[in-house]
Structure 1
Amino acid sequence: MARPPLRPSPGRPEPAQGLLRRLDGIARAALPPVTTAILLVLAAAPLGLPALVPAVVLPAVFFWSVFRPVSMTPPAVFALGLLQDLLTYAPIGIGILTLLVVHGLAFRWRRGLAAWSFLAVWLVFCAFAAGAAGLGWLLYAVLSLQLPPPMPALHLALLSAGLYPTLAFLMTRAHQAMQRAELDS
């Protein structure tokens, strides 16, 4: 009868068991909405760019709805929209409805979008940003019973489209790290 070695053999460590594995899964699932909320709060810092808050949350909701829809759920999108409305002093509901529409459409088309090149996804996002800015403008007009100037909506669409490549690069790295961690466990 051979004795077992005193040291464990080198190689892959044993996966976490029980509670630790569940906590790791919960943390990975919560990472997209939590980091988006942190970005929202950081974007709300007084920089003189009031459109920065919705311009940051829109790419994040779109990206995670396409590439990790399990983590970006409708309740999380609702909470992010509410946080956006509170941080921008917008009428409650405009950001919520806009983000839920973006999430729903991105979720519905995720299978096709996930297979496309970055440039094609970016162009689709540009259309989403223009549509979301137009929807926000329309909702504000309905709630205020007057036509607001269209330039803030245009700036929001352009700023969102311009921020998407940088934010998508960072979110892609986080997504790949989460996929590697899931494969290892």
Structure 2
Amino acid sequence: MKATRQIRNTLLGTAITFSLLAPMSASADGGIELGVLTCKSIPGTHRYYVIHHTVGVDCTFNHTQGQEHYKGIAGIGLGLDLNWRATENMAYAVIGGSSDLDPAAYSLSGRYLGAQASATIAVGASAAILVGGGKRNISLQPIALGVNTGLGAALGIGYLSLGPAFEKRAVRSGF
């Protein structure tokens, strides 16, 4: 009886999720995006201000259609940041809907906000929950996990701002 109820609840949750995302996938050129976005900090771009932290990032989105490369800015927009990080790597699980799934569309371009925390003593961990998107999409990164080297701790409103890696313009802060 309990197993039947769990299966029913799982199927119901899946059906609700797909029914909410169906209008996005019904678009002629769009649909649902699934994949992993990995970001690495760019050496020499860290800026620390106790209540604000920013770093340049190089990111790769691996999905069913291939790969997309992004550059951007990430950090703590408002909070307490007592970190000194030598390196910072994050991996985001991406679930989203887009009006354009062309592999060259760079559909993750946009701004993302949410909660972020990290703790590091030599080698440490970080986590973030970010929601956001751009002009043609909305994406949800249910949780991002990262590995850092350095010393310190941080907690606050995290942000990630992404644009295609080939663009020469600067990507503005997401906060």
Bucket of the pairwise TM-score, normalised by the shorter protein: under 0.3
TM-score by length of 2: 0.27
TM-score by length of 1: 0.26
Give the structure with higher Rg (CA). 1
**Structure ranking higher in strand proportion:** 2
**Structure ranking higher in helix proportion:** 1
